[in-house]
Structure 1
Amino acid sequence: MSGQQLPGWLGQPTHRAWLDEHCRDLLAFGQLFPAEGGGAAWLDEVGEPDPSHGVQTWITARMAHVYSLGHLLGVPGAGALADEALAGLWDAEDGADGEAPLRDSVNGGWFSKVDSGGTPAEGKACYDHAFVILASSTATAAGRPGAAALFDEALSVYEQRFWDEAAGMPVDTWDTAFTTLDDYRGINGAMHSVEACLAASDVLADVYDDDDDERAALWRARALGILAKVADWSSANSWRVPEHFDSSWSVQLEYNADKKADPFKPYGATIGHGLEWSRLLLHGDATARAAGEVPPADFVGAAKALFAQAVADGWHVDGRPGFVYTTDWSGKPVVRDRMHWVPAEATAAAAALAIATGAPTYAAQYALWWDHIADVVLDHEEGSWHHQLDERNLPSGTVWPGKADLYHAVGATLVPRLPLAPSQATAVRQGLLRG
């Protein structure tokens, strides 16, 4: 909708001002995250570090990402906080020769976590490494010390260990030494790989002195290829995203039927992922067209279909407002608890569809879900968002105790104010934020 007024709240400067204020409130809530020795602690209900969760790579990378965005947004102190998170992933002074608690200096890559005693967990995951790419690309765009070297290292590790060129998809999980690859393949790591690849492509083209267009095109192509495959798999599955696969990328619909509420690999269709893939397809479409390319599939049509199915299956389906966490493959709710990241992604996807199409229906849904967030998801007493609600919309902590990080909530304040391409850090760096 370039040059046109966006519908509903999306076109109102007063709403954009509210989003800006809320983003800054979120960054203020999370400012106690720095862990001793570097990295980000898991935050509890009041924003205090909870050492029982150790220091985790995905939380650390997410906080490095959002506080680097905060620095780009001109929030005083955000850059220094981003550096505290980055110190868990990389030694800004000594680089590859330095020590960072989450980095495996022997085998390469990043541990998923270190416990309170500094002992690393076993294994290496695509999910974590995708977030390291995202964090380092955002920090590079923000000019943080050591970020460019971390970015180069993150791209190299991902390319060598997680990218399967023959499949055009990422593998999921290695052992710590990168000697044994698990047969499992998953959509969650692939989804965040898309975000990471798009962000990396934009930073390579925009920030690097030599405007590394060839490498930028390579990472862009990887993201677009993943998106095309997921659109195809979802189309064949009634627009419910298949989550789990084997090593040959054959769908495993009954995976984790005995662990239905798993926080990373739940059984069935994950409503929030249908919404998140919808938005990513729109970013992919806009990115391809901005580069003068034709997307490899009808990304906009797929985004509309995924969004419509996720909303039909997930929103207000059990007598109360809110999005259920998961459904079976017929659309029947399985886990009825509400996770905060799902309405965050719902508002972001609705905003992206309104930006892409100009349709007022999406803007109306956007406003409806922000009203829902303000009603029961925002914690008006302690700050940030309740990360989990039960089916009665009361705070719960069975899957996500505390308020671990700010990634989804901050994203929900930025997507409505940014173009669909380039990605967030590059767009903010280029002055494309609306309002």
Structure 2
Amino acid sequence: MINSPSNANRGRLLATLRVQYPDALAERGFRLLHPVSGDPYTDHRRHLVATCRSIANFAIGAVADGPDWCLDAAEHGLAFLRQAHRTDDGDGYHLVVGKDGEPLNRTRSAYGHAFVLLAFARATAADIDGAEDDLVATHELLEDRFRDGAGMVRSDCAPDWTEQEEYRGQNANMHACEAYLAAYEATGETRYLDRARHIAYTITIALARETDGLLWEHYTDDWDHDFGYNEDEPRHQFRPPGYQPGHHVEWAKFLALLDRYDEGTDAGENDEYVPDGGWYARALELFETAVDNGWTGTGFVYTHEKYGRPIVSDQYGWALAEAIGASAALAERAAEYGDLHTVDHLQELNHRFLACTDSYRGPAGLWYEKRLLANDGGDLIAPDPPGVEPDYHPVSAFYECWRSAHDPQPDD
């Protein structure tokens, strides 16, 4: 187990939420706060991902037995998600809306809808009325509208549900896996776990065979690797070329959770979605690969080439946060298997990562989007509106640290 006391991690979780509350709450929905001043941005656009991440954040606070305002804030966000982002016919969610709920971007985002599922899953875990009904409906929406012939999440669609490009993305599928894991945690229903396991196996085992175990980001609609995708946009916010250490540690966390939850199911050595050595071995491999290829001592490079040469050396706060959560989840698994040497190693890295968090927080206590290397100016960069990161990654990291040391098994 992680040496930091469980209540210290819970304290970090609730302190991160307290910086957001109540200033992030608008009359309707949530506002992005600036990491320097703590003031809301003057841009009033509301992004679906940010709305859902904020709901998930505050619902996690309620699950961790936080103050009553955690539940109030989650319910406040759910009202906006249902009334503003959701289409009038209930068949999908608008990607960007105005403060009064008017649609500004009607894209049916695969990435965004994964976070809709996550928001309702976390709200279900917090026992919010009606959340489980919406969780079921969103699962059915994903099945009907986004699931492709390979059982994976397809790409972004227009309002009439025609695909906007012949593309498949690792990132949207990774967050769908996260959402299905959260749905399983909230309900104990194995259909959600099965979805998570299928996506995880496809991305981290089957497709990774072609890249020597590394995780590529971009694919054609037939799930062939598209190695030239966005090669002229190395700093693309969501779809950069190259390998992302941050996504390797994020996947390591999710595979550690799959290993944890497979203990309570019928999954065994002959299960088609359990890799050789189990999820734990693959999770640890991904984690160590990310540290070897991407860790600089102060953060993780954004992207690198196959053999570790950096493409973009910007260090994003979300990647550091995911490494914190991954090291905690893996340490819990290592302890479960009596692998004490690995427990010590992961604890040491967990503390090293935690020691870096102050350098990513602004004066207002909110996290910057990224840090530039010293030879690039060493600047700290705040997110551009409409932002999608209301400190969701730090909240998720501290939540994982807390529950990995506290009570890692979901309620059945």
Kindly indicate whether residue 328 of structure 2 is the aligned counterpart of residue 351 of structure 1. Answer: yes
In the alignment, what sits opposite 1:282?
256
1:269 maps to which residue? Answer: 243
State the TM-score, normalizing by the size of structure 1: 0.84
**Corresponding residue to 1:130 among 114, 130, 133:** 114
Q: 1:384 aligns with which of 366, 384, 389?
A: 366
Within 1, Cα distance between the matches of 2:333 and 2:20? 32
Alignment match, 2:291: 311
Instruction: Give the C-alpha shift of residue 202 in structure 1.
Output: 3.0
String of CA shifts for 1:72-121, please: whole Å, max 9, x gaps. Answer: 2232311111111111211xxxxxxxxx1111113611011114572330
Residue of structure 2 in register with 1:255 after alignment: 229
Determine the C-alpha separation between the residues in 2 that align with 1:304 and 1:170. Answer: 25
Deviations 1:240-289 (A, max 9, x none): 21100011000112211111111111111111001101111111122122
Secondary structure of 2:80's counterpart equals: coil
Matches within 5 A, 1:124-203: 124-164=108-148, 166-180=149-163, 182-203=165-186
Paired residues for 1:352-431 under 5 Å: 352-358=329-335, 359=342, 360-374=344-358, 376-379=359-362, 381-392=363-374, 393-397=378-382, 404-419=389-404, 427=410
2:93 matched to which residue of 1? 110
The separation in 2 between residues aligned to 1:252 and 1:113, in whole angstroms, is 28
- In the alignment, the residues of structure 2 paired with residue 161 and residue 404 of structure 1 have an alpha-carbon distance, to the nearest angstrom, of 26
Structure 2 residue aligned with 1:11, among 3, 28, 32?
A: 3
Contact 1:125 1:174 in 2 (8 A): yes
Q: CA deviation at 1:19?
A: 2.0
Q: String of CA shifts for 1:138-195, please: whole Å, max 9, x gaps.
A: 112212233233223212211111122x302111211112134531100111001111
Which one-letter code corresponds to 2:46 in the other structure?
Answer: V
Q: 1:76 — aligned with what?
A: 68
- What pairs with 1:25-44 in structure 2 (closer than 5 Å)? 25-31=15-21, 32-37=23-28, 39-44=29-34
TM-score, normalisation: structure 2: 0.88
Q: Which residue of 1 aligns with 2:54?
A: 63
Cα distance between partner residues in 2 of 1:33 and 1:279: 28
Change (3 A) 1:304 1:219: same
Structure 2 counterpart of 1:142, one-letter code? A
C-alpha distance 378-179 of structure 1, shift in aligned 2 (>3 A): closer
In the TM superposition, what is the alpha-carbon distance from 1:337 to its structure 2 partner? Answer: 1.1
Offset at 1:126? 1.4
Distance 2:125 2:224 in 1: 38
CA contact (8 A) 1:71 1:78 kept: yes
Percent of paired sites with the same residue:
26
What does residue 221 of structure 1 align with? 194
Of residues 187, 191, 203 in structure 2, which corresponds to 1:230?
203
The equivalent residue for 2:338 is none
Q: 2:10 aligns with which of 16, 20, 23?
A: 20
Which of the numbers 214, 217, 220 marks the counterpart of 1:243?
Answer: 217
State yes or no: 1:204 paired with 2:150: no
User: Whose relative contact order is higher, 1 or 2, with alpha carbons under 8 Å and at least 6 apart?
Assistant: 2
Q: Spell out structure 1 runs of 4+ moving beyond 4 A.
A: 398-403, 420-423
Equivalenced residues, count: 391
Note the alpha carbon deviations across 1:385-434, whole angstroms, 9 max, x for none. Answer: 222111135312477897940211111111122249998xx84x79xxxx
CA distance in 2, matches of 1:421, 1:252: 42
Distance 1:378 1:18, change over 3 A: farther
Secondary structure in 1 aligned to 2:211?
A: coil
CA–CA separation in structure 2 for the residues paired with 1:224 and 1:403: 26
Residue 192 of structure 2 aligns with an amino acid whose one-letter code is W
Offset at 1:52? 1.9
Aligned AA for 1:44?
H
The runs of 5 or more residues in structure 2 that have no matched partner are: 336-341
| TM-superposed deviation, 1:69 | 1.5
Q: Tell me the CA shift for residue 314 of structure 1.
A: 0.6
Determine if contact 1:40/1:56 at 8 Å carries over to the other structure. Answer: no
Please state how far the C-alpha of 1:353 moved relative to its aligned partner.
1.7
Is the 1:239–1:309 contact (alpha carbons within 8 Å) kept by the matching residues of 2?
A: no
